[in-house]
């Protein structure tokens, strides 16, 4: 017997699948302790009596189906369980039917991989408490300007973004964007590299940015979209991406031209906390003020993008996980041999020691303490 109640893995998985359509089996660790989540999915894929909080038997059968092998192993809702699903989340069935084309799925490897890429990003945002597919998510305006404040961060699916302006659909259908987050003081484009190197320098991404900016101008008080969240399996993906950029003369020239910042987000519990931090209103400005109260904060514009200085020591914060600025600082100190201390979270230390080399000093911070200092809201997951 399976009992579905608030906070249970079963209810969380059902809600996730209503948002994503399908989800990669190999990425279940995003939802919590990997072994307990896998046990829950296994039971949901077997025939069981299913009860809800009311203790009434609502369903007898499989809630989910598992199909495919290896990287393509995927989890989907069982159509025979739609009655149960609708009783739990009646407001989400319409969204599910739209985004899955009435419960139809393509089975080719490219389509499944693309679907998994989007699903992982959605799962990370949901675990960070970002709103999606609810009555609290405002509809996006296109015909007229209706600017509004997003007091809570919301996620818009890439299909929503692409379908807003019909004339732009063909221009943007090949972009690798998986969605966007609008929050009180800004907007992010979202990409998911998974476990591979992703170069974001094509004309398709540039058009997508302009398209998203036109949406933002009509719906928010944000006139530009200068920042992107780049999801990846781990910081190993970030390092491989930066090394690939440096080894490619063309990519080296244009890296950072489309978006001024690529905030790298590992797809784990630490990454979830980063999303909560990065969707706190005006977090960058407040973070700089808190970190460098007793230092000379850099004001001039130059090639060396450090944050503050004390004597001959330059200070640079990687707490924002920005790969564009990190690469710029590394390239400068390799040439000029400046004294540098990098401020980072404990989870970023191994990556920075590998990428920046032994000459750089590292100062560690605890993300929970930073979130407390900035009064970040810990939103409930899913």
What does the pLDDT look like over 95-133, one tens digit per residue? Answer: 899 889 999 999 899 999 999 999 999 999 999 999 987
Does position 337 have pLDDT exceeding 90, yes or no?
Answer: no
Nearest to 261 by CA among 307, 236, 309, 229: 229
Measure the CA–CA gap between 278 and 200, rounded to whole angstroms. 21
Residues 71 and 138 reside in one and the same domain: no
Identify the H or E element spanning 118: helix 109-127
Residues 316 and 229 reside in one and the same domain: no
Residues 170 and 293 reside in one and the same domain: no
Does position 342 have pLDDT exceeding 70, yes or no?
Answer: yes
Helix-helix angle 9-20:34-44, to 10 degrees: 80
Would residue 113 count as lying in a domain?
A: no
Would residue 266 count as lying in a domain?
A: yes
Give the pLDDT of residue 167.
Answer: 46
Nearest to 79 by CA among 92, 66, 65: 65
User: The domain containing residue 97 runs over which residues?
Assistant: 2-105
289 CB-contact burial (10 Å; exposed 0-12 / middle 13-18 / buried 19+): exposed
Give the pLDDT of residue 218.
Answer: 87
Give the pLDDT of residue 166.
Answer: 38
- 299 or 277: which carries more pLDDT confidence? 277
Q: Would you place residue 298 in the very low, low, confident or very high pLDDT band (cuts 50, 70, 90)?
A: low
Does position 294 have pLDDT exceeding 70, yes or no?
Answer: no
**pLDDT per position as a tens digit, 210-260:** 888 988 888 888 888 999 999 999 999 999 999 999 998 888 878 888 999
Q: Would you place residue 207 in the very low, low, confident or very high pLDDT band (cuts 50, 70, 90)?
A: confident
Q: Would you place residue 65 in the very low, low, confident or very high pLDDT band (cuts 50, 70, 90)?
A: very high
Q: How many helices and strands (H and E) does the chain possess?
A: 15, 16
Would residue 112 count as lying in a domain?
A: no
Would residue 115 count as lying in a domain?
A: no
Are the C-beta atoms of 195 and 183 separated by less than 8 Å?
Answer: no
Nearest to 272 by CA among 124, 154, 106, 150: 124
Q: Which two tokens stand for residue 100?
A: 């899955």
Give the pLDDT of residue 19.
Answer: 93
Residues 333 and 202 reside in one and the same domain: no
Measure the CA–CA gap between 117 and 231, rounded to whole angstroms. 9
Residues 273 and 298 reside in one and the same domain: no
Does position 168 have pLDDT exceeding 80, yes or no?
Answer: no
Does position 169 have pLDDT exceeding 50, yes or no?
Answer: no
Would residue 192 count as lying in a domain?
A: yes
Does position 272 have pLDDT exceeding 90, yes or no?
Answer: yes
Domain boundary residue, one of 47, 71, 105: 105
Residues 79 and 101 reside in one and the same domain: yes
Nearest to 176 by CA among 156, 201, 205, 197: 205
Q: CA dist 285 to 165, 274, 281, 373, Å?
A: 34, 16, 9, 13
Residues 158 and 82 reside in one and the same domain: no
Measure the CA–CA gap between 10 and 48, rounded to whole angstroms. 13
Taking phi over 0 as left and psi of -120 to 50 as alpha, with beta for the rest, 150 belongs to beta
Residues 298 and 360 reside in one and the same domain: yes
**Beta carbons within 10 angstroms of residue 188's beta carbon:** 25
Average pLDDT estimate for 324-332: 93
CATH of the domain at 65: 1.10.10
Are the C-beta atoms of 23 and 119 separated by less than 8 Å?
Answer: yes
Percentage of the chain modeled with pLDDT above 90: 59
Each as own residue / partner, the long-range contacts of residues 27-34 (CB below 8 Å, 24 or more positions apart, any chain) are 27/116, 27/119, 27/120, 27/123, 27/267, 29/268, 30/120, 30/123, 30/124, 30/127, 30/267, 30/268, 31/123, 31/127
Domain boundary residue, one of 280, 311, 328: 280
Helical H segments across 193-294, by residue range: 203-219, 235-247, 249-254, 269-278, 283-291
Handedness of CA 219, 221, 224, 227 (dihedral sign): negative
Residues 179 and 59 reside in one and the same domain: no
Give the pLDDT of residue 55.
Answer: 66
Q: What is the mean pLDDT of the chain?
A: 89
**pLDDT per position as a tens digit, 5-61:** 888 999 999 999 999 999 999 999 999 999 999 999 999 999 999 988 766 778 999
DSSP 13-50: HHHHHHHHSEEEGGGGGGGS-HHHHHHHHHHHTS-EEE
Give the pLDDT of residue 66.
Answer: 97
Helix (H, G, I), strand (E, B) or coil at 149: coil
**Total tally of structural domains belonging to the chain:** 3
**pLDDT per position as a tens digit, 72-89:** 999 999 999 999 999 999
Domain boundary residue, one of 230, 264, 280: 280
Residues 343 and 240 reside in one and the same domain: no
Does position 301 have pLDDT exceeding 80, yes or no?
Answer: no
Residues 175 and 91 reside in one and the same domain: no
Does position 139 have pLDDT exceeding 80, yes or no?
Answer: yes
């Amino acid at each position: 017997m399976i009992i579905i109640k608030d906070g249970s893995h079963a209810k969380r998985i059902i809600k996730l699948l209503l948002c994503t359509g399908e989800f990669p089996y190999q990425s279940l660790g995003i939802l919590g302790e990997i072994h307990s989540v896998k046990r829950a999915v296994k039971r949901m894929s077997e025939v069981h009596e299913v009860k809800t909080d009311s203790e009434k038997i609502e369903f007898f059968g499989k809630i989910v189906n598992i199909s495919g092998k290896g990287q393509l192993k995927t989890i989907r809702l069982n159509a025979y369980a739609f009655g149960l699903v609708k009783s739990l989340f009646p407001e989400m069935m319409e969204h599910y039917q739209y985004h899955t084309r009435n419960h139809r799925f393509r089975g080719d490897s490219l389509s499944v991989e693309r679907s998994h890429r989007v699903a992982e990003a959605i799962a990370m945002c949901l675990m960070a408490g970002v709103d999606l597919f609810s009555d609290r998510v405002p509809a996006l305006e296109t015909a007229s300007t209706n600017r509004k404040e997003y007091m809570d961060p919301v996620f818009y699916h890439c299909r929503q973004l692409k379908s807003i302006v019909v004339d732009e659909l063909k221009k943007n259908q090949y972009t690798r964007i998986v969605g966007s987050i609008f929050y009180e003081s800004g907007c992010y484009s979202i990409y998911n590299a998974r476990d591979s190197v992703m170069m974001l320098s094509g004309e398709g991404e540039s058009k997508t940015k302009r398209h998203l900016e036109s949406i933002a101008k009509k719906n928010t008080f944000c006139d530009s979209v200068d920042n992107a969240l780049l999801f990846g399996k781990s910081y190993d993906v970030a390092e491989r991406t930066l090394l690939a950029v440096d080894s490619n003369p063309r990519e080296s020239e244009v890296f950072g031209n489309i978006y001024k910042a690529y905030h790298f987000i590992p797809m784990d519990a630490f990454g979830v906390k980063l999303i909560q931090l990065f969707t706190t209103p005006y977090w960058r400005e407040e973070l700089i003020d808190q970190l460098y109260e007793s230092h000379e904060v850099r004001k001039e514009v130059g090639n060396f993008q450090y944050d503050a200085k004390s004597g001959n020591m330059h200070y640079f914060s990687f707490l924002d996980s920005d790969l564009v600025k990190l690469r710029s600082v590394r390239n400068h100190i390799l040439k000029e041999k400046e004294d540098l201390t990098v401020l980072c979270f404990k989870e970023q230390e191994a990556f920075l020691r590998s990428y920046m080399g032994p000459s750089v000093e590292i100062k560690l911070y605890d993300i929970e303490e930073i979130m407390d200092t900035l009064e970040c809201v810990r939103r409930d997951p899913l």
